[in-house]
């Protein structure tokens, strides 16, 4: 593994070292007109679509967005929250999210889509109005870079490297705390 210190120890001048974070394929993750992307995917052109992508595990924090849906539905009647990702062997978190959505009366606004190939995921990111990144803990979330590469704003908890990618009020919003109310405020 090549590191900054490793390069210096090999005699490379520190001022000549540039660290480049993880990237995404710009041929795949690119701006596609939202209406065109929705038409290709067969999605409702008039809904407010929130999208998350990642493993269905608790630390991904999808429950914060689901808990915000009742208040968001008061403002956006056609809102839908799509979660794209692979489930664990037990399916425990997915069952929890479904039960939570039922309890909150928003089950019809929640949709799960299995893990998708990169090209299809890029279409989904372009089709979304907002990409949600409610992770409680993360390193460098490439899903954020993917969404931004598609021109879709990101709302995220300020964890890991997210603050290096999302510029608050410019290409998305960094939430000051992890709560459903901050999600309601950011989306509205």
List, as one string, the DSSP characters of 75-137: H-TTEEEEEE-PPPSS-HHHHHHHHHHHHHT-GGGEEEE----HHHHHHHHHH-SEEEE--SS
Place of tokens 């929705």: 38
Residue 134's alpha-carbon distances to 26, 83, 120, 153, 154, in angstroms, are 24, 12, 22, 14, 10
Which pLDDT band holds residue 59 (cuts at 50, 70, 90)?
A: very high
pTM above the 0.75 mark? yes
Closest CA to 65 of 152, 154, 149, 170: 154
Confidence of residue 4 (pLDDT cuts 50, 70, 90): low
Q: Per residue in 57-74, is it b (16+ CB within 10 Å) or e — as a string?
A: beebbbbbbbbbbebbbe
11 — pLDDT class (breaks 50, 70, 90): confident
48 close to 167: Cβ distance less than 8 angstroms: no
Give dist(CA 101, CA 80) in Å, integer. 12
What per-residue confidence (pLDDT) applies to 89?
80
Each residue's pLDDT tens digit, 140-176: 889 999 999 999 999 999 999 999 999 999 999 999 8
**Per-residue confidence (pLDDT) for residue 159, from 0 to 100:** 93
Rounded CA-CA distance 136/178 in Å is 8
Looking at residue 18, its pLDDT comes to: 77
Residue in the block written with tokens 């990702």: 85
């Amino acid at each position: 593994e090549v590191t900054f210190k490793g390069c210096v120890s090999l005699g490379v001048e520190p001022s000549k070292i540039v660290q480049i974070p993880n990237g995404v394929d710009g041929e795949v993750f690119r701006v596609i007109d939202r209406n065109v992307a929705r038409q290709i995917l067969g999605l409702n052109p008039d809904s407010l679509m929130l999208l998350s992508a990642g493993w269905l595990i608790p630390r991904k924090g999808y429950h914060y967005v689901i808990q915000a849906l009742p208040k968001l539905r008061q403002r956006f009647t056609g809102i839908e929250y799509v979660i794209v990702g692979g489930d664990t062997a037990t399916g425990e978190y997915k069952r929890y999210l479904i039960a939570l959505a039922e309890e909150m009366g928003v089950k019809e606004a929640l949709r799960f889509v299995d893990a998708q190939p990169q090209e299809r995921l890029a279409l989904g990111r372009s089709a979304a109005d907002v990409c949600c990144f409610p992770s409680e803990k993360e390193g460098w979330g490439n899903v954020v870079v993917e969404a931004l590469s598609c021109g879709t704003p990101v709302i995220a908890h300020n964890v890991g490297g997210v603050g290096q990618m999302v510029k608050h009020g410019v290409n998305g919003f960094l939430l000051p705390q992890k709560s459903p109310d901050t999600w309601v405020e950011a989306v509205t």
